[in-house]
A and B are shown apart, each in its own frame.
Chain A
């Protein structure tokens, strides 16, 4: 039984995130690699970056990224290299191109619209005079007072 468990453990054992053997000698280069890999998605995971992921595919990508950096690529070149092979799906931060303007612009645009509507409403309130809605009947007024009484 114990041997079976051990075999299973070996089979299922995760290659937990960044491994010491992947890390580059040069601390500056390694720091760049870590930073870049935080923005790259592990393809078989869910919203996890390759820096955090345990999957073996993520490990391959980490090693690939480090190879490019060692070969002298700039950050942008190294990321482009990976995007060309795996598509923009690997970018955790979507590029600001084409339809993605909608994504990036959604918040500011909505804030402008909502801010405009809010301002018009507030100005209306500050200029309005007391307008009544359907007046309450005397019993209702009494009941409301009862309920709201502190």
Chain B
């Protein structure tokens, strides 16, 4: 191409390489699906060994393909249809990069990239697995990859070219041009797809016909990693909705949100039941079933988002052909796994014996509550569809239903959690086990009671949430105190606790903090809507606000109406807030950018509206107590997961070189 430096000509090659790498990766996936499986069946080591290099090659090729697509977005290669439809040359670089996955085709490519990444990690770090189990796990993982490669290549190819490239693109949906949302999908996908490892382990164990304590330990780090990513992904999405959608809601029970929440609930259940498999060799078939269902809900999530069957804010794709394809993938993997399960589950006898009151039983109750809660969300999400199909009723199932039907399970879970977590394994005496918790209970009652007397209404929501929060956090403190005993060496013993125990403590406390935050925000939000005149102050919930000025400003790819609002309390200025109303001319979409004054006790949330005939501006102000606790709690849960993941027992299980064993207090 001697013609000149025009980018499209130089990039053509890279794009075609990406396309080619994608097809090659799918060919490798087919080999990896078949050869190791036969090898494991026939006990041929050579055939089984194919899995490892194949998993690496599959990942490398998919990464190359994804990299080529990202390259096209970064360089605004408008010969690619996808780039034209989702990018613009004036878009900030961050959103050019995130635009790679801010659309259907690109996000599916990211999906398989993560799928192959997990496969490759299982190949690289799975040295400690029995060769036949490893071969089967990688083969099942690759079968999933084959299905999704076919889906991408035949229905959603990101590398389609245009004959005549236009001068510029049509820009990314402005709602997606936001740092919170730029990284929300990758985390969610890491979570969704991470559960594919649990699925592959479950199916491989079913084919193998054996589940033992070691299996429980192998499957747990993968589930834990998936759960951590889901936690972060959901929190990012919820935080984004909170500040971006303009009225400070953080959770809408939208089908797409539910689609990410259901796998999270089941992954949480799976984490806990895998502990029982590992430590007590019980609950095996249930754990296998959970592993299958957890990934099943990830597929349902993908289906809901990608098919647009249950339309919602997030659905980019509204193409029935794609929906049917994913439905077929789902039917194949779920149907196959469940048939295998019914054939083989009977052979997995439980070994451990335990009393009705024991840690095992508590974990069973945990699983019951999480699974039934997930079921409620599932029924609520699908009900509008079912009611229309079978009862000819066109109806909505909105937040009031979920708040009423789902919340009781979480309240129950919060109530029993501290008790269950201090019960000893095998057989416990309830009175003796819970006695130390009485301090935590009294403290929690006091906190709840205080909230009750300080609030103006008669709603139980806020006090109940604070009670649960205090109960969970204080329960954790009591448990740590119990574990480390009395006397001088306590701090040293506390420091020597296994990371997994710290992880448990931090994650449980995080759940409490999140519950308190949700209750506080929901119960005690105050709002005010008015036409504000420039320079005239007004009061909301103890704060004074003044609208100083409203300006038109110009951003890189948008126009903005920006207000300047002074927030003060008792005469002293707290902050200057600049809420905006933006308009993206290329995408022809307006967005609201709320201005928020954050702190631990409350958020003050200001939104600017339209100018009125009398020259004033519509201004909305919300005072939202405890809001940030929601995300701090999510952060703690994710941190707890990370601490647990870094426990050396998992590293040993994951195949790291054996390190010098240091004595740890037995659980």
Confirm or deny: A148 has a beta carbon within 8 angstroms of a beta carbon on chain B: yes
How many residues on B have C-beta within 8 angstroms of the other chain's C-beta atoms?
79
Contact A126 B356 (CB under 8 A): yes
- Max chain A CB contacts within 10 Å: which of B247, B395, B530, B648? B395
Closest-by-CB residue of B relative to A30 is B529
Contacting residue for A41 out of B368, B396, B652, CB 8 A: B396
Confirm or deny: B610 has a beta carbon within 8 angstroms of a beta carbon on chain A: yes
Contact A17 B664 (CB under 8 A): no
* Interface set, chain B 388-406, CB cutoff 8 A to A: 390-391, 393-401, 404-406
Determine the distance from Cα of A84 to Cα of B552 in the docked complex, in whole angstroms: 44
Contact B379 A46 (CB under 8 A): no
Contact A93 B398 (CB under 8 A): yes
Contact B217 A148 (CB under 8 A): yes
CB distance from A149 to the nearest CB of B (A): 7
Confirm or deny: B341 has a beta carbon within 8 angstroms of a beta carbon on chain A: no
Contact B355 A106 (CB under 8 A): no
CB distance from B634 to the nearest CB of A (A): 22
Contact A20 B530 (CB under 8 A): yes
Contact B368 A93 (CB under 8 A): no
CB distance from A95 to the nearest CB of B (A): 8
Contact A122 B361 (CB under 8 A): yes
Interface 1/0 per residue, A132-150 and B, CB below 8 Å: 1110100000011001111
Confirm or deny: B376 has a beta carbon within 8 angstroms of a beta carbon on chain A: yes
Main secondary structure of the interface of B (DSSP, over half): mixed
Contact A107 B612 (CB under 8 A): no
Confirm or deny: B53 has a beta carbon within 8 angstroms of a beta carbon on chain A: no
Contacting residue for B390 out of A89, A99, A125, CB 8 A: A99
Contacting residue for A8 out of B255, B311, B347, B585, CB 8 A: B585
Confirm or deny: B589 has a beta carbon within 8 angstroms of a beta carbon on chain A: yes
Using C-beta atoms within 8 Å of the partner chain, give the interface range for chain A: 35 or more
Contact A12 B379 (CB under 8 A): no
Determine the distance from Cα of A146 to Cα of B393 in the docked complex, in whole angstroms: 60
Confirm or deny: A9 has a beta carbon within 8 angstroms of a beta carbon on chain B: yes
Contact A114 B371 (CB under 8 A): yes
Confirm or deny: B409 has a beta carbon within 8 angstroms of a beta carbon on chain A: yes
Contact A122 B394 (CB under 8 A): no
Known contacts A47-B398, A93-B398, A131-B349: does B529 contact A23 (CB below 8 Å)?
Answer: yes
Contacting residue for B360 out of A48, A89, A125, CB 8 A: A125
* Interface set, chain A 41-94, CB cutoff 8 A to B: 41, 46-49, 52, 54, 87-94
For residue A147, which residues in chain B have a CB less than 8 angstroms away from its CB? Answer: 128, 214, 217, 652-653
Contact A9 B390 (CB under 8 A): no
For residue B476, which residues in chain A have a CB less than 8 angstroms away from its CB? Answer: none
Confirm or deny: B493 has a beta carbon within 8 angstroms of a beta carbon on chain A: no
Contact B387 A99 (CB under 8 A): yes
Contacting residue for B351 out of A5, A104, A132, CB 8 A: A132
Known contacts A47-B399, A91-B395, A103-B401: does B353 contact A20 (CB below 8 Å)?
Answer: no
Contacting residue for A106 out of B349, B353, B379, B653, CB 8 A: B379
Closest-by-CB residue of B relative to A115 is B368
Known contacts A5-B585, A93-B400: does B247 contact A17 (CB below 8 Å)?
Answer: yes
Contact A107 B379 (CB under 8 A): yes
Determine the distance from Cα of A98 to Cα of B249 in the docked complex, in whole angstroms: 32
Contact B610 A16 (CB under 8 A): yes
CB distance from A120 to the nearest CB of B (A): 11
Known contacts A19-B618, A41-B396, A110-B372: does B583 contact A5 (CB below 8 Å)?
Answer: yes
For residue B313, which residues in chain A have a CB less than 8 angstroms away from its CB? Answer: 46
Known contacts A49-B398, A148-B214: does B246 contact A98 (CB below 8 Å)?
Answer: no
Excluding A13-B583, A16-B618, A46-B254, 19 further A-B contacts by CB distance (< 8 Å) are: A9-B590, A19-B618, A38-B400, A46-B313, A88-B393, A91-B395, A92-B398, A94-B395, A94-B401, A99-B387, A111-B368, A125-B282, A125-B352, A133-B347, A143-B130, A144-B213, A147-B217, A149-B652, A150-B649
